[in-house]
Amino acid sequence: MFLPFFLELKVARVPVSLREYLSLLEGLEAGLVDYDVEGFYYLARAALVK
């Protein structure tokens, strides 16, 4: 579901790894964010930004 998002980050030359992407998916699966754009933003930053 978020694979296009991950690939777009790679195309934009954001240094994101597969492990970080999987961490993002784990956080979403754990229910850390529920249909909240701002919550997703902060979770994605925490998981993907070095």
pLDDT tens, residue order, the chain (50 aa): 789 988 999 999 989 999 999 999 999 999 999 889 999 999 999 998 87
pLDDT at 34: 87
Q: How far apart are CA 39 and CA 11, in angstroms?
A: 24
Q: Tally the domains of the chain.
A: 1
pLDDT at 47: 93
Q: Could you write out the DSSP letters of every residue in 1-50? A: --HHHHHHHHHTT----HHHHHHHHHHHHTTS-SS-HHHHHHHHHHHH--
pLDDT at 50: 72
Task: Show the domain range for 29.
Answer: 3-48
pLDDT at 28: 93
pLDDT at 38: 96
